[in-house]
Structure formats: C-alpha cells, structure tokens
Amino acid sequence: MSTTSFVVPAVRRRLSLETSLALLLAVSIAMIFWSQQRYPALLKKLHSGSGVKVAGTISFDALLKVTPEMPVAERVARTSVNWLYTNRFGMYFALPFGAALMTLMAGAAVPRRFDSAVGNVLCGAVAGAPLGVCTNCATPVAQSMIVGGASTRLTLAAMISSPSFNPVVVAMTFVLFPLHLALWRVAVPAVLLACLPLLVAENKRKILEIPAFETNRGLGARLISLSERYVRNLLRLTWLTLPWMLLAAVLGAMMAVAIPAYGTHVPVSVIGVIAVAVLGTLLPVPMALDVALAFVLYRAGAPAAYVVALLCTLGPVSVYSLTAMSQLVGRKTGLKLAGAVAGLGTVAGLCVMWWPGI
C-alpha cells in the first residue's frame, strides 16, 4: 500500500486557506472541550480518590431516578436517558470535532497513513491517549477519519487508546486499585493494540469519497463553500452516529437492568469470568466509568476476578462503537475486535482467579 506523498503539488498551495481554517476550527473545538469540561471533570474524579461516586448503573449522572421497584420497561427507558445525558458533553465535542476533521482531510496535503502497520498503530495510540473521550464518543471522530481516508489501523488504535490510556484515567486506576490489579488495566489494552494489525485489515482506498475544495473562486465564495462543506459533514456524521447511539443506550440499559445489583455474592467460576468479560465488552460506559464502576464493585466485595474482567473490557470498545464502526470497516473486523477484547479480559480474570497474587 502506498502512502500519500509528502511532496505538495503547486496546485495544492491554493488550498491553504480552507485547510488552515479547518485546522483552526478543529484545534479550537478540542481546546475548549479539554479546558472547559473534560479535563476538569476527570481531575475532579481523580482527586475524589476512593470517594468517587457512580450515580447510574452505566452512567456517572442520574438525570432520572431508577429504583428496583419500577417496571422493567421504565427502568430501561430511564437508564437509557441517564446514559445519553452523561455522554452529552462527549458528543458535543465529538460531532463538531469529527466534522472539522472531515473538512480538514478533504483538502489537507498530509499523509493519512504509514507504510508500517506498527507506525499506524503507534501513531493512533499516541494521538488517541489525550483525546479524553470514551469509546462511544470517540466513535464519531473515528468515523470522520475513516470517511476522510485515514488508515483503519491508525483510526481504531486512536479509538481504543482514548479511553484506555488517558493519563488521568490511568492515574485513577493506580490510585484506587492495588498494583497487581491496576497493571492488568494497562496490560490488556496494550496487548490489544499490539494485536491490532492481526485483527484489522488496512483499507486500500477511501470508503466515501469527499470532493476537493474548489479554489477558482473569490474569497467570499470560498468561505461560504467551506461553511457549507462543514455543515454537510456535520449532518453526515450525525446521521452516521445518532441511530447507533440511541440503539446503544437501549441495549446497554437492557443489559444493565438484567444484571443483579453488583453480584457480590455470585460464586467465581470460569463461565462467570467469561460472561463478565463479554458483558464488559458490550456495555457502553462513559469516560472513566470503567475504573469507577469496577472500584465500586471491588469495594463492595465483588470477586477480584470479575472486577478485573470488567476493568479490562469496559473501556476499549462497546456495543455502540463495534456496531457503528463495523459499517465502515466490516462486520468481520468488528467481531474479531470484540472477540479479542472479551478474550483478553477473560484471560486477565482467570489469571486473577487462579493466581491471586499476580
């Protein structure tokens, strides 16, 4: 597979205005999100230490009260609303930022992949770590990158790295858990990223073609065209994202409602570890809730094997990110990725069950 050339043809110089404005917009959206919402919220959770609270079953916030006495349908509906409410800030960032990336990649004369699979995965992992969004909110950004012609391995590595290797969330893990348990939270996504070239085939072409900027017009017309391009990209990305997000809210709520509260008295078994790992792979949880929820379970006395299985699988992917991205990278790839996460989580849980000191 060939890379995009670093040599910029002379005709591309006329694209600098649109490219610069799209880049400025993307950077501005990221800076506002990181400084005004995401990192203050993450640091607050970090400073809470063992006092971190989880208000909803699969959400930090509980806009609507949910009690066991309510009918199942009502609990599912309220849990779905709470999940959407918790994820609102991430989506406020992901959709505008993703649309800015799509607009930028339409005309930016930059390489969108490396020849090396390792280079693509490593670049994606490094770029994703500070992004500060869960796998659900990272999905629109990943969709915009794929649509813009970026490497599938680079894109999926960034999507996995954002919830898995955010420095504040990693710090939370080591603050809340014993070292031998916290290390699993880092080791599993690291192994997953290392295996990514085996799980994900590299795309050979753009999945959706984006027309290049028209530069043979006046300044006003070009600015209007750029604005129209951004709005179209935003609507396209919203259309790609919204149905799957609503479906994920309902499916996640159904799974959460079906689970006995924290299961602290469930005996540890191989089947149990596998079931917990599969559940953790599918549940769509907000940023840092994987660590917070696992800690609540751990403090409540849940078996360490189940806690570690959840700790390792709740973050990297979810039913939402898997189904949404499968539309662009293929269902087979989505299934392999889900199987790898569940399998690695199972291995971690079984190791803790059989060798508690590890």
- Segment 217-249, tens digit of pLDDT: 778 888 888 888 899 989 988 888 888 888 888
The overall average pLDDT reported for the chain is 84
Q: What is the DSSP letter of 151?
A: -
Q: Which of 4, 8, 323, 14 is nearest to 142 (CA)?
A: 323
pLDDT band, residue 214 (cuts 50/70/90): low
Going from the C-alpha of 116 to that of each of 129, 202, 204, the distances in angstroms are 20, 11, 14
* Residue ranges of E strands in 16-160: none
Cβ distance 275 to 243 under 8 Å? no
pLDDT of residue 353: 92
> Does the pLDDT value for residue 265 go beyond 70?
no
User: Would you state the structure tokens that stand for residue 24, as one six-digit string?
Assistant: 């400025």
The domains of the chain are located at: 10-354
pLDDT digits (tens, 9 = 90+) for 303-340: 999 999 999 999 999 999 999 899 888 899 999 999 99
User: Would you state the structure tokens that stand for residue 216, as one six-digit string?
Assistant: 């043979």
Q: How many C-beta atoms surround the C-beta of residue 61 within 10 A?
A: 15
The span from the CA of 87 to the CA of 74, in Å, is 20
The span from the CA of 120 to the CA of 213, in Å, is 27
pLDDT of residue 3: 42
- pTM, rounded to two decimals: 0.84
Question: How many residues are there in the chain?
Answer: 358
